């Protein structure tokens, strides 16, 4: 909101002629041309026959002024134009109350094959949406740039470009509009500055147009790109597709690169606040996006499906790489951030909240590699993330970040969550052996409405998951870690605390597997059971854990006749205040060997210190307890 207020102040200071819907007063054009003392090198359209605020077309007069070789300055008021073509070295300077109004479809200002052009302090009226969204001039773009360099567009107001196809809104080719289009399909584009530009009411059906500011590649030669584009202090709202777009082809088509969106705002987009599909080296910094993907003025975006990934504050696509979001705020969007197989996506110091569906959403069959999320907040209490990478190392790092909704993990190898808070815990929802080598370090998990760490089904094995220095907090109703049948292999739980839980760690069916590598140096308090394992385990070290306020058993391992209890060590565990029972082993099968229960201290247990039931007493070594 601060960004929006700041930008409105900028607009007021620039005296943009904004319509009443924008919340800024629009002054009526004066009936007489403004008398401007000309500096050397400037001419006016009036010198070539233009008449402001009348019904005649001024295109020819303005074009003659442009072609004179001098810069052009405009009076207060409205000029009617078809299409103006810029040239190299040109400056078009409005009075701050200058309006160029389109009279036909097409581009109001075209810059192709030019350099060193500056356009500032004027407004462009696309002539669309005159009575309603279906009426007026169709298919208008305010400013089109192609095969050009060193272009500055500053303090410009663009509105009412395009209309909606009433028979079929999604068939918008030839109907939809754009505010600014920058593209390199005709030749390279570089060094573009778009600053203090306000764009609104750009119609589109979500397919071919309806974008506020559109930056694209699409040259057949992938070495010919749009690059070094800076968009700063701009505000785009009420658009049919995206507020801002960074787009390029895959394979034989080029993508834009080195695009920066800085201190900008976007609101009320039919689809995305920013759509990056695709681009390289894109930075979005200190910008705000509100009501994107759920704005239905031009059409109902639900026609694209309730899981359509482009209904987002920011969306990235499969072939994009090195995308950075820093200091971004996203609120009241359908999705906050949606991503596909984007390589090197960084989300830093970003806040997302009040999302209609999810704060962060993987919208494709594969997530990207080397994703970094840091110092961010995802505030909506709905499931999010569901990172899925079916092959290869993910290299995912999430640090210093809080999630109010449940975090879903589908398929990942090599990921780290550090100093994170999970308000509704995490859920493992993958297929066989598809989650591997995921580390949680110094994280906080809350079990207030469900188990803090849990599995959605029992059909897979999550391997080598570690929880080091973590906190598991509950309300006494749910477990800290709950593992179902075949749910885990070789997990490490170390130096973590479990407080106010039903079970600190619960394995509903160990299936005689090495579910844990170790559970060591943890603290359990105010729990029904500290460690509760059913159906046998193998090769686990349960060492150095402390227990207090345990209502049932500190450690309970229950083995069934068809399960196994092999090579386990339970050592150095201690019971403190208010522990009812210490260690209980129910060994019922014939496959029991090489287990040690040594050097444990549950002297303070109020009911039973130990309960060992064993069909083969010699197979469990119990000494020095």
Nearest to 314 by CA among 387, 261, 380: 261
223: left (phi over 0), alpha (psi -120 to 50) or beta: alpha
Return the SS3 of 8: helix
Average pLDDT of 448-468? 84
Distance, in Å, from the CA atom of 142 to the CA atom of 123, rounded to the nearest integer, reads 9
Average pLDDT of 452-477? 87
How many CB atoms are located within 10 Å of the residue 590 CB? 12
Q: 């070594």: which residue's tokens?
A: 621
Return the SS3 of 47: helix
Asked if residue 9 has pLDDT above 60, the reply is no
Which residues are registered as beta bridge partners of 585?
557, 612
How many CB atoms are located within 10 Å of the residue 369 CB? 18
pLDDT score of 398: 97
Distance, in Å, from the CA atom of 369 to the CA atom of 321, rounded to the nearest integer, reads 10
Which residues are registered as beta bridge partners of 583?
555, 610
Average pLDDT of 62-80? 97
Asked if residue 285 has pLDDT above 80, the reply is yes
Q: What is the pTM of this model?
A: 0.89
Distance, in Å, from the CA atom of 126 to the CA atom of 70, rounded to the nearest integer, reads 26
Summarize pLDDT for 15-55 with one digit per residue, the tens: 333 333 333 333 333 333 333 333 348 999 999 999 999 99
pLDDT score of 251: 74
Distance, in Å, from the CA atom of 415 to the CA atom of 392, rounded to the nearest integer, reads 12
pLDDT score of 616: 55
Summarize pLDDT for 388-444 with one digit per residue, the tens: 887 888 999 999 999 999 999 888 889 999 999 999 999 988 655 688 899 999 999
Nearest to 67 by CA among 92, 33, 97: 92
Summarize pLDDT for 559-577 with one digit per residue, the tens: 665 567 778 899 999 999 9
Asked if residue 96 has pLDDT above 90, the reply is yes
Summarize pLDDT for 323-380 with one digit per residue, the tens: 999 999 999 999 999 999 999 999 999 999 999 999 999 987 788 899 999 999 999 9
How many CB atoms are located within 10 Å of the residue 296 CB? 10
High-pLDDT (> 90) share of the chain, %:
74
């Amino acid at each position: 909101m601060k960004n929006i207020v700041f930008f409105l102040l900028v607009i007021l200071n620039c005296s943009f002629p904004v319509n009443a819907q924008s919340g800024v007063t629009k002054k009526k054009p004066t009936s007489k041309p403004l008398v401007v003392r000309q500096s050397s090198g400037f001419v006016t359209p009036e010198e070539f026959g233009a008449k402001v605020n009348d019904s005649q077309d001024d295109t020819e007069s303005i074009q003659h002024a442009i072609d004179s070789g001098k810069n052009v300055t405009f009076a207060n008021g409205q000029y009617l134009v078809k299409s103006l073509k810029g040239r190299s070295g040109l400056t078009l300077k409005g009075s701050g109350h200058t309006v160029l109004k389109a009279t036909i479809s097409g581009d109001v200002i075209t810059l192709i094959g030019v350099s060193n052009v500056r356009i500032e302090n004027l407004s462009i009226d696309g002539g669309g949406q005159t009575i309603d969204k279906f009426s007026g001039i169709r298919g208008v773009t305010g400013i089109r740039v192609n095969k050009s360099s060193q272009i500055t567009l500053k303090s410009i107001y663009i509105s009412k470009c395009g209309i909606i196809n009433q028979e079929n809104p999604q068939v918008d080719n030839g109907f939809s509009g754009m505010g600014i289009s920058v593209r390199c399909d005709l030749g390279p584009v570089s060094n573009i500055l778009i600053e203090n530009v306000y764009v609104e009411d750009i119609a589109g059906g979500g397919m071919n147009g309806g974008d506020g500011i559109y930056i694209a590649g699409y040259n057949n030669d992938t070495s010919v790109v749009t690059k070094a584009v800076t968009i700063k202090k701009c505000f785009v709202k009420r658009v049919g597709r995206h507020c801002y777009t960074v787009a390029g082809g895959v394979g034989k088509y080029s993508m834009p690169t080195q695009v920066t969106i800085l201190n900008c705002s976007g609101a009320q987009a039919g689809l995305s606040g920013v759509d990056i599909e695709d681009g390289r080296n894109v930075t979005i910094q200190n910008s705000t996006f509100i009501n994107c993907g759920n704005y239905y003025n031009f059409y109902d975006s639900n026609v694209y499906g309730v899981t359509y990934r482009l209904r987002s504050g920011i969306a990235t696509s499969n072939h994009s790489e090195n995308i950075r979001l820093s200091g971004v705020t996203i609120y009241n969007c359908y999705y906050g951030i949606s991503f596909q197989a984007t390589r090197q996506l960084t989300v830093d110091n970003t806040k997302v909240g009040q999302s209609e569906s999810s704060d962060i959403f993987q919208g494709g069959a594969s997530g990207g590699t080397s994703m970094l999320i840091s110092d961010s907040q995802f505030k909506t209490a709905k499931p999010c993330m569901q990172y899925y990478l079916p092959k290869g190392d993910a290299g995912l790092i999430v640090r210093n970040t809080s999630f109010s909704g449940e975090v879903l993990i589908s398929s990942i190898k090599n990921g780290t969550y550090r100093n994170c808070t999970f308000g509704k815990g995490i859920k493992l929802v993958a297929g066989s052996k598809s989650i591997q080598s995921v580390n949680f370090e110094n994280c906080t998990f809350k079990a207030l409405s469900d188990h803090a760490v849990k599995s959605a089904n029992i059909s897979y094995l999550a391997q080598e998951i570690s929880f080091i220095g973590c906190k598991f907090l509950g309300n006494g109703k749910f477990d800290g870690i709950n593992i179902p049948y075949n749910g885990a292999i070789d997990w490490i739980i170390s130096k973590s605390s479990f407080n106010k839980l039903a079970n600190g760690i619960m394995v509903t069916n160990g299936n005689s597997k090495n579910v844990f590598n170790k559970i060591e140096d943890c603290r359990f308090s105010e729990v029904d059971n500290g460690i509760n394992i059913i159906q046998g385990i193998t090769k686990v070290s349960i060492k150095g854990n402390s227990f207090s306020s345990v209502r049932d058993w500190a450690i309970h391992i229950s083995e069934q006749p068809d399960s196994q209890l092999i090579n386990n060590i339970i050592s150095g565990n201690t019971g403190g205040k208010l522990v009812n029972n210490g260690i209980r082993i129910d060994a019922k099968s014939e496959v029991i060997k090489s287990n040690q229960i040594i050097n444990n201290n549950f002297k303070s247990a109020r009911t039973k210190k130990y309960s060992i039931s064993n069909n083969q007493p010699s197979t469990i070594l119990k000494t020095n307890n």
